Structures are given as structure tokens and as C-alpha cells.
Structure 1
Amino acid sequence: MSREVVVFNPATGEVIAKLRSATREDVRLVVDEAYSAFLKWSSLPLRERTKLLLKAAEYMELSFDDLLKTLVAESGKPIRDARAELWRAIEIVRASAEEARYILEGRAPRVDAYGYPPGNENRLVVETREPVGVVGGALSYNNPASTFAHKVAPVVAAGNTAVVKPSTHTPLTALKLYDVFKKAGFPDGVVNVVVGSGEEVFDELLENPKVAGISFTGSTAVGLQVAAKAAGRGKKYMIAPSGSDPAIVFKDADLERAAAVVVRARFENAGQNCNATKRLYVEREVYDKFVKLVLEKTVSVKVGDPTDESTDMGPLISDKMVKAMEGFVSDALSKGARLLYGGRRMERRGFYFEPTLLEVPDGRADIRALREEVFGPVLPIVPFEEEEEAVELANSTPYGLQAAVFTSDYKKAFRVASAIRAGSVMINDSTRVRFDALPYGGVKNSGFGWREGVRSTMYYFTEPKYYVFGL
């Protein structure tokens, strides 16, 4: 007997859906259909594929209110942020249609520039990009609409077919988007959603020989396992793993603006973003002043019902994550940190945790919140004396996704940004900045495999093929 996937509303703790959990045999049948569909879909003219993507974006707009209601209910994301995510997903679909002609256009290398093999002056070489086949994708619970768009739109634009597994916390948004793509006219088997456990679904996608590529968004620990299994079976893999993004605030920064940016970047979506600001380092000379500003802005964060337009922060996704935040706070306090604000589960229905500020006197202390990814609303704040110390502290975790530097001295900004080991460094801007068309990823444990993005996904999940004409 197959198990159930039970979906909760994290704002109330109530069950909102019960879905049948797919078995490995179910996944196998879906992959078979996706593989059969690939043989036809890949031969369609590019203009036909992009036309359907643009229609899907149009249908997403027509279904916007229904999608928004579902996204808020299962994720607990405040409605203003959920609305922004849905528009972002629509733009990812549109960008996939618009960018495809440029990424997939191929080229004609001048082989007559090379002396070997002999006779190249009598050869014409054309390089094209051809799709790899079926691509399996794992979606995150924190952005179920935009990760669906990233795992599906550029993949199918390039001529592949997609089989995606949504998080068991947020499968309803993916199922609604699947319906939208079907209504837009996508043929059977091109876009597929399978709901179930990672063991049943993703293990089959990793081991099935008909699956050519894997695209995964999730924790570094699981991402490393996925990459190892995919590589061991000769599959292409794209991993979007964890981050512990630092923000460095120098004394010459616009402190008021920096405080507003940092507080938003930490507590948006209850801190459940891989590129949230997760560690804050402040120059000692302005430390007290800046901490006061951060505290004032944190106190003003309105935590409440995600369906309320005035809510700034909603719940965490599960009770397990609330307990994880309690663990981070307890660990920090036991090792010398001081609680400035919050630190507790909120006394209300649902999975709420207070926006939390921790003052950590020593940035080198063995405090988990400074070493691990904190996927929730807890912000450790650390003073520093010199520029070199700030860089050392920023680089002190195994992660290197994104970072932010706040200063009015642009020479210093570029100097520090260059020394920080991260995929992107924002100067006087939020760590949450991301351009969906461009490659997104980091270094160290935040960067292995190919980087995700509309352009890079299409490029990665196609292979170069050369046609050589003897003239």
C-alpha cells in the first residue's frame, strides 16, 4: 500500500491536503512517458516550443489568483512575497522562451585556421546544441513556484522533457502549475510532476537510465549525495545548495539604509532563503549605533497571518524547523552570546518563531549559528575591528554563496568584495539579489556542479554536436 503525503498549512498547523505518494514503479512509468515524449518534442521547431512557453506564461497570469491562494496556504509565505514570487516565475518562463534562440543558435567554427587535420580549407563545420533527454528536478519548499519555473521552462525550451519532484511540504503549487502547462497545450509527457518521498522518487530518477540529467535545489548535504550518485551513473547534474551569506557593515556606510536592507534580507520568508543574510559583521566604532537601528527595525517586523497584506513575516514550514531554531538559540546562549530580541516559539497556532537577534562578542566562537546554515529567522551580530578581520570572519564557514558589503568607499568595497570567497558580492545592496537569467551559485560548499539560471540551464542540458561537410 502506498503512503500518503500530508500537506499542512504552516500558519495554522491544519491539514489542507492528502495526496497519494508515488511508488518507484509510478516514477518509472512517468519516466518512460517522458522519454517517449522527448523523441517528438525535441524534433519540434524551436518557435513551436517557445510559443507554448509564452502561452503557459499567459495562462499563469490568468490563473494568478488561484495559484497565489495555493502558494500562500501551503508555504506560509506572506501574500505580498508570494505575489512577487509568482510574477518572478512568470518572468522565468517568458525569459526561457526569449533567450532560447540566442543560447541554442550554434556557430560555424573556422577550421581552416588549423593545420591539422590536413585539408581543413575544404571543410565546413557547423556546431549545434542538441537536448540531452529527460531531466529530473527537485524543487525547494521555500520558493515552490519559481523553482518549478527554473526546473521546467529552460529545460523544455531546449528540447528536453522534465520530471520534477516538489517538496512534500509544498506539492500543490507544482500540481497547479502542471495543470497550467497542460492547458497551455504542452503535449503529454513533456512536463511531469511526481509527488512522493525522496527515496521513492529521486532515487529512481538518479538510477533510471532514461534520465539524462538532474537538477536539484536543497541542502548541501543532500546535494553532495545527489551529485555523487548522478556522476557515478554518468548523468549531468546541476546543484543549487546551501548558503550562509554574510553582510559586512563599515563605519562609513549609510547605516539607516544598511539596517533596513539587512533586516529585510534576514526575515523575508521567515529567513527561509538560501541567499538570506545569515551573519552580520559590524565595524566596532559604529557597532552600538547600528545594532540599535537593526533592533528598531526588527521590532517593527509584523509577524502574522500570511493572507494579511500587512504581514511582513509568516511561519516556518514545519514544527521541525521551529525546533531547529530553538536549538540554534540555545547553543549560542550556552557559548556566550546575548539575546537581544526574540528567541522563542510564538504562542499561537502554526509554526511561528520570533524574529531573533543574537549578539556574539567573538566571531571566532564555536557557535552553530555562525558555522552552519540557519534556515530561519535568527541573526547573529558580531563586531569587528579591521577590514582584514571582517574578511576572515566572512570566509569562516564552509559556504560561499553570496555576500554583501556596505561602505561609501568604493575602493574598499571592491577590495573586500575581491577577498570574500562567494559567487556574488553585493555592494550596498541585499544578499537576496538574484538575476534569474544569469548563472546563480557559489563556491566551496555552495558551488558544485553547474550553476542554475535560464541561460546556463539551457546551455548545460544541451550538448554540442558537430556536422562536418567535406567540400
Structure 2
Amino acid sequence: MQLSRTEIYLDGRWVRPDGTEQIPVENPVTEEIIAEVPAGTTTDVDRAVTAARAAFDGWAGTGPADRADALERLHDALASRAGALAETISLELGTPQKFATRVQVGLPLTVLKSYVDLARQPTPVETIGNSLVLREPVGVVGAITPWNYPLQQVIAKLAPALTAGCTVVLKPSELTPLVAYQLFDAIEEADLPPGVVNLVTGTGPVVGEALAGHPDVDMVSFTGSTAVGRRISHLAADRIARVTLELGGKSANIILDDADLATAVRAGIANCFINSGQTCTAWTRMLVHRSRYAEALELAADIAAGYQLGDPFEPATRLGPLVSAAQRDRVRGHVERGLADGGRLVTGGPDAPIPERGYFVAPTIIADVSPDSVLAQEEVFGPVLSVMAFDDADQAVAIANNSRYGLAGAVFAGDDERALAVARRIRTGSVEINGGPFNPLAPFGGYKQSGIGRELGVHGLTEFTQLKAVQLRTTRLGESQR
């Protein structure tokens, strides 16, 4: 399997980048360099945007059925590479193979197929009085994606953008760019028209800034940190360009007094530790009714003990490493700060045993965390759970909403109606009640500093469109006027 690459993908071809600098890609388990990819330049971004602009009218004018056929070919090409994609994600991110196969690859395939299905559905005719309301593609999209879900976050932008009739320039994370190359091998096999999708690898300060600020990019879709999202918003605002932002989270899992405690704690830990805690929606704050608090901590410690650290290709491994040394050090710093601020270590922590090599952090649970502390307020992005007690539902909601973020969350209660009543009061973009499964067709996004806009399903599709009202001389509209 080829890992190192020397080219970028522009206008339907693999071409040499403008510069010669390469970016090393590290295996976070072995701490070894496993590949290199090009460090793109502002000139490369110009070339990519020019190609996307030239391709836009043709792709926007392509019928929905033809777009659906193209996306289906891409789905099939990706599905045939599923094993290699999962292996690559495990190599560059450290994700255990089971999770890489089921979620890191399986979920984006599901999302892509959902847009094939949406593209095949009849377009509804919307009328208001004598006006025909049309949805048209927004234009050229700059997609800037993170390292933690390196295929899913690309597909969550690429699939709806292409379905809507937009063209795309992609900048994947420089930490996990290898799977993007396999995606573009599939794009080439699927025979998408030249210029419809383009790839420029590189760093955020160079390629990301150039793409977000490019005068010919109509929309920037970004997933990543709130700090970078703020910068992208400023760059886009200078030219009144549209942005969608999927940013950080500090989600709360509220466990009420009558909840099935074992189920709630087990689900909460699984969600917090998913992808080694490198998930924006992770329920990193567990709020437990005071009458069940001690019991919950005992359960949590027992459950966390079952999360074995190790090589992602070993079947027993449940937690891989963090993506980089910098990320490991950042997470360790949060743990040390949380303990210094009065948190009580339940399990894990800085002195827990970890593999000798690799950027590992032991699964860590800290109790008695103050809702106003740094650990309770800042996104950690590692396998670290903060546990807090509450006395009633009002206090639980107040703690959950005491955050600049609002991306996800959960409520566990004795019945769904009680859980739903609390869920409605939480200021967050999505809430699971009593273990309701993730729905890839439902809108995904956040309140407050967790972002702007929504991804997935029909709501994700509309983000890549703009509205046009056509005023007609008659209010009698028929199918011929679609």
C-alpha cells in the first residue's frame, strides 16, 4: 500500500505542487515517520480554486440523477477500499481496527449513500403566492477538515456539496492526510468531471488561510477548534462569504436519580473514551444525582479498567494513542491542572502505567470537579472524564448549560418523558436520551461557540444551497415550471 505521495489533485489530474517541501506523517503508536505528503502553497490553492470555478457551471447544470450516479460510483469505489482505508486510519491516527472499520470507514460510507438516496428523490416545488422558490448551489466550497475523523469529516462536507451542485477544494489535516489520498484515488476511479473536486494538502497557516480568504471561494466549511473557526470566520467575513463551522464541545451526560445507573455510566464512559477521547461530541462531563454519586464512581472505575491501551492492530486494544506528542502533552496538562484545582483522582492519571512507546494517555476519571474549573470548561480531547454531583434537575441543567459550548449531550432517567423534559432545557445541538443511537440523517451541529450551521441529511444539504425567488405573473404553478 502506497503511503507517501508527491502530488496534489487538480482539475481531474494528479499534478506536481508549486513547491517542493514535504510534510512528514507520523505513526502515533511507533513514533516513526511513515510517509510524506506535499506542503501546498498559496499558488496551489489558486490553481485549485480556478479549476473548481471553471467546473462549477457544468456541475451545477448536471441533473440530480446524474449527480446521484456519480456519487454512487464514488461510494462503490470507496467501499471496495474499505479494508485499506481502515488500515491507513489506524496507521496515521492510531485508531483500533474494530472502530476504524465500523465507524471511521463505515459511517462515511453510510453518509455518502444517504446523499445518493437524497439526490434521487424528486425535488419538491415550493411556492409562496405568485413566487416560485428555488434552491441553487452556493458555488465553490473550501472544505477544511480535522484529523480526528479524517474520512468522515470529509464526506460530511463533500457529499452534500456535490449533491447540491457545488464544486470543492479540500484541505485535509496535515496530521492525517493519507486517507484523503485514498479518497481521491476513488474519486478518480469514479470518473467525476475534472475540477469538481480538488485536493491541496498543507498546513493551516498557509493552505487553510489561503483557502478561507480566497476571493473566488463562495463558502468555507470548517471542522476543528473554536479558535481556528473564529479566524476562518474573520477571513470569510472580509468578503461576505458564507461559513459553516463545526467546532468544539464540552458535552454533559446527566444521570438522574431514577436512571438505570449501570447502563448510564457504561454508555457515558464509552462515549467519553470513543476514539481515545478525540471526539468533539464526547460526553466529557458526567453529572450524577448526589444519591447515586458514590455508586456511579465505583462503577466508572470498574468499567474504565476494561479499556486496554495498545497497538490498534491488536484485537484486545480498546484505546489507541493520541494523535501526536503535542496532543498527549496537552491532555496530560489538563489532567494535572484538574487535580491541582481540587479534583479527586478515581482512576488513571499521570502516573498510571502506559505502553513505553506511543503517545498514550491512560483512561482517566476525576471526581469532585468544580463546574467552573478549567477541566470542566475547556475541551480536553483525550480519554478524561470529569464527574460532578447535583441535587436536582434544575441544578443539573444549570451545570450542563454552564459552558461556552453546546454541541451534544445526554440524559438518562427512569422514563423517556422525564429525560426528554430535561433534554429540551439543555442548550446544545443534539441530545441522546436513555441511549438513543446516533442518527446520521439527523442535523448535526452546535449552539454557542460550538459552531454555525448543520451537517448530515437534508439539513446538511441545504447549507450548500442559496434561495432564489422567481416572481411569476400567475399563482397557478405546475410541474412544467420546476
TM-score w.r.t. length of structure 1: 0.92
1:437 aligns with 2:441: yes
Partner AA of 1:277 in structure 2: W
- Among 80, 88, 96, which residue is 2:98 paired with? 80
* Range moving further from structure 2, 166-175 or 410-419: 410-419
Q: Secondary structure at the match of 1:211?
A: coil
1:11 aligns with 2:29: yes
1:466 aligns with 2:469: yes
Partner AA of 2:443 in structure 1: P
How much does 1:172 deviate?
Answer: 0.6
Corresponding residue for residue 120 of structure 1: none
1:138 aligns with 2:144: yes
Corresponding residue for residue 34 of structure 1: 52
Mapping 1:25-424, distance limit 5 Å: 25-84=43-102, 85-102=104-121, 104-111=123-130, 125-344=131-350, 346-360=354-368, 363-364=370-371, 366-424=372-430
How much does 1:4 deviate?
Answer: 2.3
In structure 2, the gaps of 5 or more residues are 1-18, 475-482
Q: Secondary structure at the match of 1:282?
A: strand
Q: Is the 8 A contact 2:276 2:319 kept in 1?
A: yes
Cα distance in 2 for partners of 1:310, 1:269 equals 15
In 2 relative to 1, CA 367–470 (structure 1 residues): closer, same or farther, beyond 3 Å?
Answer: closer
Corresponding residue for residue 9 of structure 2: none
Q: Is the 8 A contact 2:252 2:283 kept in 1?
A: yes
How much does 1:5 deviate?
Answer: 1.3
* Range moving further from structure 2, 299-308 or 414-423: 414-423
How much does 1:464 deviate?
Answer: 2.1
How much does 1:406 deviate?
Answer: 1.1
Corresponding residue for residue 11 of structure 2: none
Corresponding residue for residue 115 of structure 1: none
Q: Is the 8 A contact 2:251 2:283 kept in 1?
A: yes
Partner AA of 2:463 in structure 1: Y
Partner AA of 2:367 in structure 1: E
RMSD over aligned Cα, in angstroms? 1.7
Q: Is the 8 A contact 2:74 2:187 kept in 1?
A: yes
How much does 1:102 deviate?
Answer: 4.6
1:454 aligns with 2:457: yes
Partner AA of 1:46 in structure 2: P
* Range moving further from structure 2, 404-413 or 7-16: 404-413
Cα distance in 1 for partners of 2:292, 2:49 equals 57
How much does 1:153 deviate?
Answer: 1.1
In 2 relative to 1, CA 88–409 (structure 1 residues): closer, same or farther, beyond 3 Å?
Answer: closer
Q: Secondary structure at the match of 1:209?
A: coil
In 2 relative to 1, CA 468–385 (structure 1 residues): closer, same or farther, beyond 3 Å?
Answer: closer
Cα distance in 2 for partners of 1:367, 1:15 equals 37
Q: Secondary structure at the match of 1:18?
A: strand
* Range moving further from structure 2, 461-470 or 174-183: 461-470
How much does 1:454 deviate?
Answer: 3.3
Q: Is the 8 A contact 2:297 2:346 kept in 1?
A: no
Cα distance in 2 for partners of 1:367, 1:324 equals 16
How much does 1:411 deviate?
Answer: 4.4
**Alpha-carbon deviations, 1:40-88, whole Å to 9, x = none?**
1111122111101011111111111111211111111111111122111
Q: Is the 8 A contact 2:68 2:120 kept in 1?
A: no
Partner AA of 2:370 in structure 1: G
Cα distance in 2 for partners of 1:63, 1:399 equals 36
In 2 relative to 1, CA 384–3 (structure 1 residues): closer, same or farther, beyond 3 Å?
Answer: same
Structure 1 runs (4+) greater than 3 angstroms displaced = 101-106, 409-412, 466-471
How much does 1:409 deviate?
Answer: 4.0
Aligned residues with identical type, % of pairs: 34
Q: Secondary structure at the match of 1:239?
A: strand
How much does 1:391 deviate?
Answer: 1.5
Q: Secondary structure at the match of 1:328?
A: helix
Cα distance in 2 for partners of 1:338, 1:388 equals 25
Q: Secondary structure at the match of 1:382?
A: strand
Cα distance in 2 for partners of 1:103, 1:235 equals 29
TM-score w.r.t. length of structure 2: 0.90
Corresponding residue for residue 477 of structure 2: none
**Alpha-carbon deviations, 1:157-191, whole Å to 9, x = none?**
11111111111111011111011011011112111
Cα distance in 2 for partners of 1:450, 1:420 equals 18
Partner AA of 1:348 in structure 2: E
